[in-house]
Chain A
Amino acid sequence: MLELAIKGSKKYWVWILGLLTIIGIAFIVYLWQLDFGLGITGMSRDVSWGFYIAQFTFLVGVAAGGVMVVLPYYLHDYKAFGKITILGEFLAIAAVIMCLLFIIVDLGQPMRLLNVLLYPTPNSVLFWDMIVLNVYLLLNIIVGWNVLEAERNNVHYPVWIKALAIFSIIWAPAIHTVTAYLYCGLPGRGFWLTAILAPRFLASAFAAGPALLILLALIIRRTTKFDPGKEQIQSLAKIVTYAIIINVFFFLCEVFVVFYSRIPSHMSHLQYLFFGFHGHGALVPWMWLSITLMVTAIVLLVIPATRKNETVLAGACVCVFAGTWIDKGLGMISGGFVPNPLHHVTEYIPTVPEVVIALGVWAAGFFVLTLLFKIAVTVKEEVSGV
């Protein structure tokens, strides 16, 4: 089926070349980072993880979110989603690839990456994260590819594929839970040291992933002859609605515990993010923007009339995606490091090269996503004979 990815319209090739250009530029900047070291980023002794790890965290969520179309189809036999499970699986593949790339660009000594396998260390959550992410990638490649191929050949997919699909449904929450465990088990970081972190991650994942899927479905309907379907989009919209409400609720639970207990080492990070701390508040406008976006999205999604209007729905999905991205992709990681363990404030602002490299990884992800979606959509077009 791979050949389907190299037959496309002029627009398709312009898009592909655009992505490749960004990847190329970012790769050159990455070579500079490789030569100089991570000093070209805004990270410091105090804020030792930054934009890369934050993007990684957010994208693990997007990858896990893909399960929200797979689960209703395989577990509840919700037939309507049968048409679009492939989009969820292929989105998960692209997202996990971005995750792995973000980990690699964040390493100080990437050529020693295999040390994680050569000296396996089950104590380390990073070891488990490496396992769950790679297995999830593999599961989605196998299931997605086989189901699509079966559809193309007009046969039913083999039984063992269904078994793997159900396995991947269990696996999806695992990848984001383990990713949350990277942070929430660390003794000295009050911001992350909360049992609600993994549930919060999952809720925002199940909002952001399906929101992106809705946007992608709308784009596919516009640019190709394949229609992912009105019912499908509305069902996804309901999933996004509940997930984003639960996400905000979990966040408020955290806010209550932190500010009612008034334990300084837990409070100071939220103070820094939302009100500024000792005169430092680079992220304050961003965090309030995030809250505004999520609340706006909830209002638009809860009211049936606005949710059913696909233009408004698209706007709401942009709000969900942007709001959860700011929350996790900007605030979640650097917020945990400010103030530092000695309660000093060192602020973190990503540098231009850092953002360019991150954009390059996003472009690589969208490159993979475009190829996969192109294949999937062409098969759908062939099968329906349009």
Chain B
Amino acid sequence: MENSRRSFLKIAGISALGLGTKPVLNVFASGENSEKREAEIQKNPAALKAKRWAMVIDTRKYESEEDLKPIVEACNKIHNIPKHTNKRHEIMWIWFDEFKYVFTNQEHEFVDDRVKHLPFLVLCNHCEKPACVRACPTKATFKRDDGIVLMDFHRCIGCRFCMAACPYGSRSFNFRDPRPFIKEENKEFPTRMKGVVEKCNLCAERLAVGKMPACAEASNGAIVVGDIYDSESEVRKLLKNNYAIRRKPELGAGPAIYYIV
């Protein structure tokens, strides 16, 4: 009883919101056939929202590749990322590499031993000014208001201009049908077809239902995702108390992935 009353109120509240916007919609609809009104999309009330999403990776909280493998694996599994046998066809959303490759501009001979041998996670930087979005000729890749850079797999023509534009090497192209190379398909996330580009989506599909990104969830606290414009958020607290670096900041793309070293 209690439950149904609550859901009734929920629907009523949302309906009221819908009615409230009706006059506004009518202004735009005037002159049009009033019967033909656009469907409204109901937002999940549990969705996590941010003014701008950012990620802080605390590299002090892990030691070896073994600590990072479950993180990469979690992403691969959830997003139906194929495991190709040919390295040329490889698809990677999140992976790890040595400091000298991840921070090409900050590497030096005398980097301390821990950092030198520590693997660093690499993924899409969800840039403030994404070069890939600027280059895409069809708007198949775009930046959302909350800073997440997404792909429309159905619009992408596979020209790979975005791959040339990305200064971080974060994008992959489906050189062949990925489906036969997916071990266990997650029915809740679409598989892709050959000929389109893909990359990390900061788990936009999980944020939409109130879940944190899969990598953060699998990281034992080493990865924190939150709103960088919310001074009370955990990412802000981490950045306030620790010195963090970003990849290739001199390019001005404004990457949203921070690394505490």
Contacts and interface: CB of A to CB of B under 8 A. Distances in A.
* A and B are interacting partners: yes
Interface of A: 36-39, 41-46, 48-49, 103, 106-110, 112-113, 115-116, 118-119, 121, 123-127, 130, 182-183, 186-189, 264-265, 336-337, 340-344, 346
Nearest to B104: A343
- Indicate the member of A41, A42, A45, A119 with the most B CB atoms within 10 Å: A45
Contacts, number: 152
- Indicate the member of A37, A42, A183, A189 with the most B CB atoms within 10 Å: A37
- Indicate the member of A42, A127, A188 with the most B CB atoms within 10 Å: A188
B253 interface: yes
A336 B88 CA distance: 17
12 contacts: A37-B176, A38-B176, A44-B87, A44-B88, A45-B90, A108-B160, A115-B137, A121-B138, A124-B134, A126-B137, A187-B252, A341-B166
A108 B196 contact: yes
A182 B131 CA distance: 12
B86 interface: yes
A121 B157 contact: no
A337 B167 CA distance: 11
Contact of A109 (B91, B97, B196): B196
A37 B136 CA distance: 20
Contacts of B203: none
B88 A187 contact: no
B169 A340 contact: yes
B191 interface: no
Given A45-B90, A187-B251, A187-B253, A107 B159 contact: yes
A112 B166 contact: no
B117 interface: no
A121 B136 contact: yes
A189 B164 contact: yes
- Indicate the member of B89, B131, B156, B164 with the most A CB atoms within 10 Å: B164
Contacts of A340: 169
A121 B101 CA distance: 33
B45 to A, nearest CB: 32
Given A42-B88, A188-B166, A112 B175 contact: no
Given A45-B173, A108-B174, A124-B137, A344 B101 contact: yes
A107 to B, nearest CB: 5
Contact of A46 (B131, B169, B176, B177): B169
Interface residues of B, number: 51
Nearest to B168: A341
Interface string B183-198: 0000000000011110
- Indicate the member of A38, A106, A123, A264 with the most B CB atoms within 10 Å: A38
Given A36-B176, A38-B175, A116 B138 contact: yes
A39 B159 contact: no
Contact of A123 (B86, B102, B134, B167): B134
Contacts of A121: 136-139
Contacts of B167: 186-189, 341
Interface of B: 86-92, 97, 100-102, 104-105, 122, 131, 133-140, 155-161, 163-169, 172-177, 194-197, 248, 251-253
Nearest to A116: B137
B166 A109 contact: no
B170 to A, nearest CB: 9
A346 B102 CA distance: 16
A192 to B, nearest CB: 9
- Indicate the member of B88, B100, B156, B166 with the most A CB atoms within 10 Å: B88
Nearest to A341: B169
Given A108-B173, A124-B134, A265-B104, A342 B122 contact: yes
A106 B251 contact: no
Contact of A343 (B101, B168, B175, B196): B101
B157 A188 contact: no
Nearest to B122: A342
Contacts of B197: 108
A45 B86 CA distance: 11
Nearest to B157: A112
A342 B163 contact: no
Contacts of B135: 123-126, 186
A39 B175 contact: yes
A182 B139 CA distance: 16
Contacts of B159: 103, 106-108, 126
- Indicate the member of B91, B174, B175 with the most A CB atoms within 10 Å: B175
A41 B131 CA distance: 26
A151 B12 CA distance: 79
Contact of B161 (A46, A124, A265): A124
B164 A186 contact: yes
B137 A188 contact: no
Contacts of B86: 39
Contact of B160 (A36, A48, A119, A344): A48
B157 A109 contact: yes
B195 A107 contact: yes
A108 B194 contact: yes
A264 B196 CA distance: 32
A335 B181 CA distance: 30
Contacts of B196: 108-109
A282 to B, nearest CB: 15
B104 A342 contact: yes
B103 to A, nearest CB: 10
